[in-house]
Chain A
Amino acid sequence: DAKTTQPTSMDCAEGRAANLPCNHSTISGNEYVYWYRQIHSQGPQYIIHGLKNNETNEMASLIITEDRKSSTLILPHATLRDTAVYYCIVRVGNDYKLSFGAGTTVTVRA
């Protein structure tokens, strides 16, 4: 699987949009971008995934650059409950394995 690079940590203000970047410059054409998050001492939670096109669901939006070498997860209106470690993962579509790296620790402040 392609390696991903994420900032170690970031802060954002409650009610504002949180933009989480991820670099995956060695991504292959058949690899998807997945985002999970893990709130302290809980199991990871699936957020969203995409291949080429931008995706949106009730939790977040995923913006993938045209060359697919980077992506941004957008939490449109961050709340205190969004404080968590966010993991950007790339994996082949028919491979169940998820390789969790260190992720980005996001702290939402009131």
Chain B
Amino acid sequence: DSGVTQTPKHLITATGQRVTLRCSPRSGDLSVYWYQQSLDQGLQFLIQYYNGEERAKGNILERFSAQQFPDLHSELNLSSLELGDSALYFCASSVDPGFIGYTFGSGTRLTVV
């Protein structure tokens, strides 16, 4: 157990639908990151939040949004889902400042049918 909790582990939904992925960071970590991994590819950075505020943004689609709540958990919202959105979505957290690498959760596998 890495200490980063992601729910749900698996999600199957239809095209056009909206889903919410949830992440609880490791205790003491203020930064939360979201990554997408499609089809055995590398991880693509989506977005970072630090203590409730957006800190860095990657190639995140406009249909996707995220937020970090006062208790530091984060949610990634994916809307108007397309088949190509099927992927593993990883959340990670880190100590900040003093960044030395992330701790990843085990991911949410999203399948859009």
A binds B: no
Interface residues of A (CB under 8 A from B): none
Chain B interface residues (CB < 8 Å from chain A) = none
